[in-house]
């Protein structure tokens, strides 16, 4: 719950000050800036984390929701996969600043975007494998629970 609260605060802060997501790259804002896709991603992420926060808060006070925690966690991973898929579709994460020299920095922008695209692909693969693993564990644990009572011999 607290982690989701901090994540929401960070996303709201980054939306208003996008240079924060660049970390040390903020020193190069006169050369590069975040692509317009990030505003959409921030809005999607803010909605997603807000929904996650509501579900976690509801789970604190409701045992019925607490029992569905695994489903909420699976939905969280699925939502993150959707956001990563949206990012992969964009293919442009950094653009040249209006004050930058295109002849000098266009190749760097292209390299940064290609590297980030590769990183998002890796993240998508990892999250997809984690989701498949969690779903597999859930299915097999339910199969074992259902099979266990039938094995009892009187």
What are 80-134's pLDDT values in tens digits?
A: 999 999 999 998 998 998 888 999 999 999 999 999 999 999 999 999 999 999 9
pLDDT at 77 over 60: yes
Q: What is d(CA 84, CA 127) in angstroms, rounded to the nearest whole number? A: 9
- For the whole model, what pTM was predicted? 0.76
What is the pLDDT, as a whole number, of residue 153? 54
């Amino acid at each position: 719950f607290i982690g989701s609260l901090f994540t929401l605060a960070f996303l709201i802060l980054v939306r208003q000050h996008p240079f924060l997501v660049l970390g040390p790259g903020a020193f190069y804002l006169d050369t590069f800036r975040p692509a317009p896709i990030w505003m959409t991603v921030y809005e999607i992420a803010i909605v997603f984390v807000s929904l996650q926060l509501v579900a976690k808060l509801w789970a604190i006070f409701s045992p019925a929701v607490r029992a569905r925690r695994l489903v909420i966690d699976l939905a969280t991973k699925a939502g993150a996969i959707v956001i990563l898929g949206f990012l992969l579709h964009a293919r442009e994460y950094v653009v040249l600043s209006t004050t930058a020299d295109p002849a000098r920095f266009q190749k760097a922008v292209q390299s940064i975007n290609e590297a980030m695209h590769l990183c998002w692909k890796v993240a998508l693969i990892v999250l997809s494998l984690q989701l498949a693993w969690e779903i597999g564990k859930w299915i097999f644990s339910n199969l074992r629970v259902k099979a266990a009572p039938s094995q009892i011999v009187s």
